[in-house]
Structure formats: C-alpha cells, structure tokens
Structure 1
Amino acid sequence: MGAVGAMEAGSKDRYGQAGAAKDKLVPEGVEGRVPCKGRLANIVHQLTGGVRSGLGYCGCRDLAELRRKARFIRISGAGLRESHVHDIVMAADDSGYGHNG
C-alpha cells in the first residue's frame, strides 16, 4: 500500500522515498474504510453466484475448464459503460451490482 499513512509507518523505503519528508512523499494510493456489507455468508453467496454466472457465460462447467478456455479481451471505457445497466431508471437496486451511474 502506498498511501501516505502507510509510507509514514515504514513502507516509504519500498517506494524509493526513504529519506523524504512527509510533505515530499508521493503517494501511490489512499487510505480509507469500507462500510461493513453484512454477514460473510451473504457476501460469499453473492460471490459464488457471480462466479457460477461467469462460468455459464463462458460455457464452462468448472474453474479448471475456465482456466483452459479463458481469453481476456480488452475493452474501452465506453464499452465498459455500455456493458452496464444504462438508459433506464431502476426501480430498486437489489442486485448487488453496485453500479453508480
């Protein structure tokens, strides 16, 4: 982690800034907290459901088959936005999708 707080706590030498004063550090990250999203079992359920869905999109029965068949395809930022929900007003966001616009 390259946030200022982490660098002050001792990691600045890892980023080539061992002798730098606090106001001269060039951070490569931020510090923050993520609100609790609930019980781990619920999060794991969402995660495994997403993996199963992805396996289906790829025509794979398991992770081993996915490793053999997988291909990464680079898309543009515009393509990413287009692949998300757009041009509708969602009545409720209960999908766990987490898209912000």
Structure 2
Amino acid sequence: MTSSLAGTASGVPDKFAALGLTYDDVLLLPGETDVIPSEVDTTTRLTRGIDLRIPLVSSAMDTVTESRMAIAMARQGGLGVLHRNLSIEDQAYQVDLVKRTQTGMISNPVTIGPKATLEELDEKCGEYRVSGLPVIDEDSTLLGIITNRDLRFVPVAEWGHRLVNDVMTPMPLITAPVGISR
C-alpha cells in the first residue's frame, strides 16, 4: 500500500493517522445545551475494583505526587498514584498519611498514652501532621484528649519532663455554660 495515509492492521487507512492536533488546534465553542450539570455522571471505571468519580489520575512522578497530592485527588474523587522513588518505609509512611486523612470515623486512630512526655507528643503530632491525639490507657480505654490548645501555657523547656496526663483534657468532656449541672 503506497498511500500517504498510514493504514491499520486490516489495511484500511486510518483517517486521523497523519493528522496531529495540539490544544491550540481544538476549540470548543460555548453554546446552549440540554445537559444539566448536576445530572452529569463522570464516574469512570479504572479497574474492576476501582471507580473514580472524576476521571483524573495524578502522575506517579516524584515532582508531582506524594501524600498531599494523593489526599487532594482523593477528596475530589480522583486518584493519586504515589511515585516509587522512595524507600519502602517512606512509601508505607506516605500511604499511611493518605489513609489516615479520610473523613468520617477513623477506625484505628493514632493515640498516645498518659505517661508520654509532651516532647513525645510533639514528635508524634509532627510525624502525622495532626494537632491533637486521643489519650488511651494500656487497655485502649479513652482517658481524654490532648491538643495544641492544651500546650499553649506550658513552656517548651518543660516538654521533656511534663507528662500528657498533666495537661490533657480528661474524660468526660462536658461543654456547657458555667453553672449547668449534669
């Protein structure tokens, strides 16, 4: 076949094979439509087990996708693919950050014990990028909560020896105007 158009496996010429288009070559003109935006479903099946609300997948490049991009993509209904230029430990850490960012109830939250120092609390909060943690005992019973607001009046110089138990907000937490009885 000596046609200037490239052919397909069946020998039939592909009319778009010799045509190359860029973004500047295509223009969508605005106009009226019968499509109601709220009724549009852009759900796309990526695999048998993964449906995406929006058909967007971020690139698995080290300059593009780590936990922050994967979290942002997931919140919008897309998928963030973490890059492989990390150690296995760092990859697991990035996945853990993404999974713990889900909204709703966290089934396995990061916690801290009452005998931990405020310095240990600060390290753990920094590691997981959170501003507070539930305080639990050895039996996983909730004792209270400690947040960055509890630390406001504790000098940083004391964080190495002050315990979480000393400054946490204990259970039961009751929020009501002064003078209200149980």
Task: Give the structure-2-normalised TM-score.
Answer: 0.15
- The structure with the largest strand share of the pair is 2
Structure with higher RCO (Cα < 8 A, 6+ apart): 1
Task: Give the structure-1-normalised TM-score.
Answer: 0.23
- Asked which structure has the greater CA Rg, the reply is 2
